[in-house]
């Protein structure tokens, strides 16, 4: 018995040591980064090894959210190596794409200079191939017969260690899962999938990032990312409705809530309820529905369109959040579902909903898939169903930032390249002056805003400032060469990030806004033409 106790306590001591070592290695340090000069050029930097190794997000340590999400409490679990390999094995078996991506990289280097975080930080660990290599080394060591038999040095693998865990926690949280690297990879390797899998493995051993998981917890358990209770949502939307009625002087323009039998269930990020500039798009949506004469409703149960569950490989989280939308659609007996301006919301709604909860054969057969608000608005514009005064936007020369989760998601409107052309069609339909940014920074080759997929927290400000560089340079080029002075977006995270980065880089925050902000300005209310 005495021997057993000694073994137990020494094993416990090792576990405590491992946890302490890892906590020290990933300790959050507030790091400030300066913006660069805007020249309009996107340059591939000379590498600076480990230049961003100290930038890590804060850990979630609060017990209740960790328990609700089903993750360990107290940091690194004692048997972490076993848990790590079990979770990785599960992922490799369940998501064949991850295994394939680990197997087929030919080290061609085509992706090395394509990531905004590498361009911004010059840290070679932010090259997509190097980021994925962190997982490939473990894969080769533990999941190939050569690695199992001969050990890590014969397969250029890595044994599991606290140092390796810290590298994972650092660099898989310097990836916004934007998938730009995948566009240029001749093998079609999607590093975002590898990042999602890595984050899920980190969660399983007890290293859970704070910002993203606090939001997932609120969305699952309260119903929206901001943690607003139902009465607060009703109050916020009533306030928006009052403002609308007062500013438009139209007493019957509404933001309907929980109205059974409406034609449309409209879902949007909760940031649209009051954040700036997001709320301007909410005014725009309401004006479009009002003018089209289509009955619509928002839902207190599905009060969040955004779905942070997509940012890790645990589809359970994503499903739980998405489920509220389908429950609301059934309960309110709507005929169709339309989504507002949000990048990852659109990707989940358009790409994953059907697999998770479909087929939606109980919806109007003309709209079996959720629609994007831009699809809906462009159709009305094309049919002449909205009276528009484009001169209302004449103070702007508008450009568009393609949000990655839309641009590299499924096509919009069932048409090839619809995700590029439909939003641009709406902008052109309500503005006289539109200019694109340089070709290598838009559409399928768009650069992330620098804060996607769980990196929008203040703890990641250094990464945000550096990751925004390609977009800021492209915008400044368009500003200088084409007189652009407004960037229109359809992603809530991009709006939040760019409206912070613009002033950081010396550009007015007011130059950022939603596409439906422009629609809302140009629409002539009360005129019923051609419906
Ligand atoms: S998915 Fe985006 S952020 Fe991640 S490595 Fe590729 S380019 Fe970089
Ligand atoms: S482009 Fe694709 S194949 Fe080439 S190094 Fe990058 S991930 Fe590997
Ligand atoms: S925040 Fe916007 S630009 Fe960045 S990854 Fe998400 S959709 Fe893309």
- Note the ligand closest to the C-alpha atom of 180: 1
Dist. CA 251–CA 243, nearest whole Å: 11
Dist. CA 309–CA 349, nearest whole Å: 12
Dist. CA 490–CA 268, nearest whole Å: 11
The reported pLDDT for the residue numbered 490 is 97
Residue 283 CA: distances (Å) to CA of 175, 310, 380, 407, 426: 33, 28, 17, 25, 16
Contacts of 332 (CB under 8 A, 6+ apart): 258, 259, 260, 261, 262, 265, 297, 299
The reported pLDDT for the residue numbered 524 is 96
Ligand 2 neighbour 129 (Cβ under 6 A): yes
Q: Report which of 308, 364, 369 is spatially closest to residue 338, judged by C-alpha positions.
A: 369
Phi, psi angle pair for 136, to nearest 5°: -60, -35
The residue whose CA is least distant from atom 5 of ligand 3 is 452
- Note the ligand closest to the C-alpha atom of 106: 2
β-sheet with 336-339: strand ranges across: 296-297, 264-267, 336-339, 371-372
- Ligand 3 atom closest to residue 447's alpha carbon, by position in its atom list: 3
What radius of gyration do the chain's Cα atoms show? 24
The reported pLDDT for the residue numbered 530 is 43
Q: DSSP string spanning 365-377?
A: TT--S-EEHHHHH
Q: Mean pLDDT, consecutive 10-residue segments, the chain of 531 residues?
A: 52 84 96 95 97 97 97 96 98 95 97 98 98 98 97 96 98 98 97 97 98 94 90 95 96 96 96 94 98 96 92 87 94 97 92 89 91 97 96 98 93 92 98 98 98 96 98 98 98 97 98 98 77 41
The whole-model pTM stands at 0.94
CA 492 – ligand 3 centroid, Å = 9
Pairing of strands 398-400, 336-339: unpaired
Decide if 272 contacts 341 (C-beta within 8 A).
Answer: yes
The residue whose CA is least distant from atom 1 of ligand 2 is 185
Dist. CA 251–CA 248, nearest whole Å: 8
Dist. CA 393–CA 521, nearest whole Å: 7
- Ligand 1 pocket mutation pick from 42, 174, 175 by most atoms within 8 angstroms of CB: 175
- Ligand 3 atom closest to residue 471's alpha carbon, by position in its atom list: 3
The residue whose CA is least distant from atom 8 of ligand 2 is 105
- The rounded Cα 272 to chain-centroid distance in angstroms is 15
The reported pLDDT for the residue numbered 157 is 97
- For residue 27, give both structure tokens: 């300790």
Dist. CA 224–CA 269, nearest whole Å: 8
Decide if 343 contacts 452 (C-beta within 8 A).
Answer: yes
């Amino acid at each position: 018995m005495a021997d057993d106790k000694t073994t137990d306590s020494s094993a416990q001591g090792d576990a405590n040591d491992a946890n302490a070592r890892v906590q020290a290695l990933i300790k959050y340090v507030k790091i400030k980064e300066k913006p660069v000069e805007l020249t309009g050029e996107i340059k591939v930097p000379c590498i600076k090894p480990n230049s961003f190794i100290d930038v890590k997000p804060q850990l979630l340590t609060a017990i209740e959210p960790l328990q609700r999400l089903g993750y360990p409490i107290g940091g690194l679990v004692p048997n972490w190596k076993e848990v790590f390999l079990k979770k990785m094995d599960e992922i490799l078996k369940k998501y064949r794409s991850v295994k394939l991506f680990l197997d087929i990289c030919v080290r061609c280097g085509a992706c090395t200079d394509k990531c905004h975080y590498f361009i911004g930080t010059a840290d070679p660990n932010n090259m997509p191939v190097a980021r994925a290599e962190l997982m490939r080394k473990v894969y080769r060591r533990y999941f190939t017969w050569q690695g199992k038999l001969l050990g890590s040095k014969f397969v250029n693998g890595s044994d599991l260690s606290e140092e390796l865990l810290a590298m994972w926690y650092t660099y898989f949280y310097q990836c916004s899962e934007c998938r730009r690297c995948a566009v240029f990879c001749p093998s079609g390797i999607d590093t975002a999938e590898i990042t999602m899998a890595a984050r899920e493995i980190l969660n399983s051993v007890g290293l859970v990032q704070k910002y993203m998981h606090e939001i997932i917890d609120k969305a699952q358990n309260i119903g929206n990312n901001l943690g607003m209770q139902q009465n607060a949502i009703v109050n916020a939307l009533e306030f928006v409705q009052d403002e609308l009625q007062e500013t438009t002087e139209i007493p019957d323009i509404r933001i309907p809530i929980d109205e059974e039998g409406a034609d449309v269930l409209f879902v949007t990020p909760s940031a649209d309820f009051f954040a700036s500039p997001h709320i301007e798009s909410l005014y725009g949506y309401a004006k479009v529905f009002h003018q089209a004469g289509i009955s619509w409703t928002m839902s207190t149960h599905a009060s969040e369109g955004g779905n942070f569950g997509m940012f890790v490989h645990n589809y359970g989280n994503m499903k739980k959040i998405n489920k509220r939308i389908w429950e609301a659609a059934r309960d309110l007996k709507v005929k169709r579902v339309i989504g507002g301006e949000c990048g990852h919301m659109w990707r989940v709604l358009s790409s994953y909903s059907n697999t998770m909860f479909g087929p939606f054969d109980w919806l109007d057969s003309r709209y079996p898939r959720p629609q994007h608000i831009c699809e809906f608005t462009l159709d009305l514009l094309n049919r002449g169903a909205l009276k528009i005064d484009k001169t209302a936007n004449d103070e702007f020369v508008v450009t568009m930032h393609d949000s990655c989760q839309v641009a590299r998601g499924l096509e919009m409107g069932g048409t090839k390249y619809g995700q590029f052309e439909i939003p641009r069609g709406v902008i052109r339909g309500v503005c006289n002056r539109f200019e694109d940014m340089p070709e290598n920074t838009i559409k399928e080759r768009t650069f992330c805003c620098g804060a996607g997929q769980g990196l929008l927290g203040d703890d990641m400000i250094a990464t945000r400032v550096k990751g925004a560089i390609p977009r800021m340079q492209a915008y400044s080029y368009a500003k200088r060469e084409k007189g652009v002075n407004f960037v229109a977006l359809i992603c809530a995270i991009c709006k939040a990030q760019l409206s912070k980065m613009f002033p950081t880089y010396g550009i007015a925050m007011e130059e950022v806004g939603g596409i439906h902000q422009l629609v809302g300005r140009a629409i002539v209310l009360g005129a019923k033409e051609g419906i």
